[in-house]
Structure 1
């Protein structure tokens, strides 16, 4: 999934409780599912960022020289400006993009 094109808010907003709990009829179950999805999104974004920053890595034994790489700074700033993982997960939940099931009902 492309998290860069999401419409999730950048800051904290208030959601209608009835809309959040509507798919499961249980607010705690809905929050648990959203939390698990936010964890997945967070780890995906972190892996993607680490992979991109690896391109700029320099391995020196000397700690005296520290280089500022403008591209590396731009990549880091871009990822800092993305919506947080929980905001993306809530947005996906409200749009019905998260698949969930109860094993005891199957």
Structure 2
């Protein structure tokens, strides 16, 4: 069976656009050129442009490298910490399964 690519959901497109705009703002606030950030991140200028323009197909490592170059990688980690949420704290005492099957 051929690998069929499903359309990107609107919520994902919207989040990618918002995150890309935030990345561009972080870069500009630090008065860095796109070339400087791309070099520091070890990615191409076109990859940085894709991120800043909200292309959701950009690889996860690319986004993390750019975030590191901008000094915002720790913010990603903090934002995604499940123990920083009410649900995470409530479930912290439970033994979580190694994987969840459907």
Q: TM-score, structure 2 length as denominator?
A: 0.33
As a proportion of its length, which structure holds more helix?
2
Provide TM-score, normalisation by structure 1: 0.32
- Bigger Rg, which one: 1
